[in-house]
Structure 1
Amino acid sequence: MTPKTFVAERDGESVGDSVLRRLRFDIIRGKLRPGERLRLERLRETYNVSVTTLREILSRLAVEGFVVAEGQRGFEVAPVDDASLRDICELRLLLECHALRRSMELGSLDWEAQVVSAHHKLQSVEGRLMSGNPSSVEQWVQFDWDFHHSTVAACDMPALMSTHSNVFDRYLRYHLLALDFRGKPAADEHRRLRDLVVARETDAAVDLLTSHVRAGMEHILASGKFG
């Protein structure tokens, strides 16, 4: 399951599903800010959908953790804070480490090739960032997802993968609000993770993934934007 690229149209997609995806992306990238009241009339004009459909979409986003229902007062964008990021980070690791183990057990040669290909794209944008091009941060977030997803793509547990996709989106929201790249340490960890995954060194790969994700979380927290 690949929730990115976020806004690309999909064959056979209903209007409601399209608007759900667009609204979710606008929350993830910060166009709709944390704590912002979601006024149905304004959303109806922006997304060109009925108020009834919007209520259904916002209820779904509330279940996913992107929106908070305020009883009779309507909906607002879910807030962000340090404690929530730590919670999301640990949940991501719980799911992703299990999926990585399963994927490394089952993955084919084609899966290995996808991991290498995804890392090549990520490495390219990381090189631009390290050479002083900050405009590539949002693209890096996309390719970071693509790479990490590729490492677990051979996992044969659809329910786990669906939940992981949602949790990763919530984690990415913090990345996109902070818009800050950790630099060479993150790039070096990605390269080592690629090598460990392809070599099927499972325990070492899981250990590196754990320290990598937690280091990324601490980097985001150090921005001071979510206290």
Structure 2
Amino acid sequence: MKLFRSLAPMALAAALLAACGGGDPDVPGSGSPSGAPTAKGNFAAFITFGDSLSDVGTYSPAPAAFGIQAGKFTTNGPSGTIWVENVAASLGLLVTPGEVGFNGQSVKCPAALQSTVPAVQRSCTAYGQGGSRVTDPNGIGHDPATGAGALTVPVVTQIANHLANPAFGGRFADTDLIAVFAGNNDVFTQFGIFATKAAQIQAQALAGLITADQASAALFQAQTEAQAGRKQA
């Protein structure tokens, strides 16, 4: 039990370091900017990419063939909105999901199929999807073997999908307000991998298969690998 108690704090500390980036230096420009604009500006579109925190309804009730009754990943109350919708409303802009679906079936820009109004057809600029990672298509809630479950289109593909839409001319416009809010699911994934390895190392130490020093070294290596995996995203 003494060895277990000594390893547990180390595992927790290593996990926290892996989650927050360890000893990496501060990222330039990550603080509050000085001299930021105070006016709303003349934005014509609000384009967002990310995960569940930016999901405005990827899993909302879609065509009946999908057979789902889901919705936003965060709030589904009758008056529930997320930050993407709130910012868009403050700018007088309309945003709708860039893609809606489930279980490997989806429809891109469903608003364009439901309206002939140009402003509505160009409103599908909210690409965030619950479970999405930065570059890996196998996000949280997605079965890589069958394609079942959440879509989890990665952020890199979300951006490519926007640029591939002829309605937007294959480019970002000068009047676009663009936000990318992602990486959370990559941290969660690496944390899960680290937690599994840490449990295995503790079990080996308790069974006397490795020494305390070997366990410490193995935990450090697992932490390093988790940090590397997060950065590769």
Shorter-chain TM band: under 0.3
The structure with more helix, counted as a fraction of residues: 1
Larger-Rg structure: 2
TM superposition score normalised by structure 2? 0.24
TM superposition score normalised by structure 1? 0.24
